[in-house]
Amino acid sequence: MYGGGNIFETVKTSELESEDPIKLAAFEARIARGEKIEPGDWMPALYRRQLIRMIEQHAHSEIIGALPEGTWITRAPGFRRKLALMAKVQDEVGHAQLLTVRQKRSGKRGSR
């Protein structure tokens, strides 16, 4: 219903069956109306887990996107180009940081 997660992990629909049917129906209605779902709002456990997984993947993508550009900073021909590359790397890493904060607000337990 909410995606497959890891390709080696089967979706356990029994988790949805254990959810409160009234809250689940209200949640589905909010999504159907196009309303925003905030981190503190009630959501099914499976939905929250998939949301956290997608945020993790997006943050990882931002970091990986910054790595190749970071290696070129020392090789850039001029100071202005070095500054431009540093700004781009800083921007990508900043996106990853914001996504990580959002992930923690959504319920992921961090290493701290």
What pLDDT sits at residue 10? 61
* % of the chain surpassing 90 pLDDT: 44
Distance of alpha carbon 62 from alpha carbon 99, whole angstroms: 9
Distance of alpha carbon 16 from alpha carbon 48, whole angstroms: 12
What mean pLDDT value characterizes the chain? Answer: 84
What pLDDT sits at residue 110? 53
Residue type, 17: E
Q: Scanning the structure block, which residue is given the tokens 């089967």? A: 10
- Would you state the structure tokens that stand for residue 109, as one six-digit string? 């337990």
More confident residue, 107 or 28: 28
pLDDT in tens, 83-110: 999 999 999 999 999 998 888 887 766 5
Distance of alpha carbon 11 from alpha carbon 50, whole angstroms: 10
What pLDDT sits at residue 6? 52
Q: Scanning the structure block, which residue is given the tokens 């209200």? A: 26
Please compute the mean of the pLDDT values over residues 46-72 and round it to a whole number: 90
For residue 75, how many C-alpha atoms fall within 13 Å in the half-sphere facing its CB? 5
Number of C-beta neighbours around residue 48 at 10 A: 18
For residue 111, what pLDDT band results from cuts at 50, 70 and 90?
Answer: very low
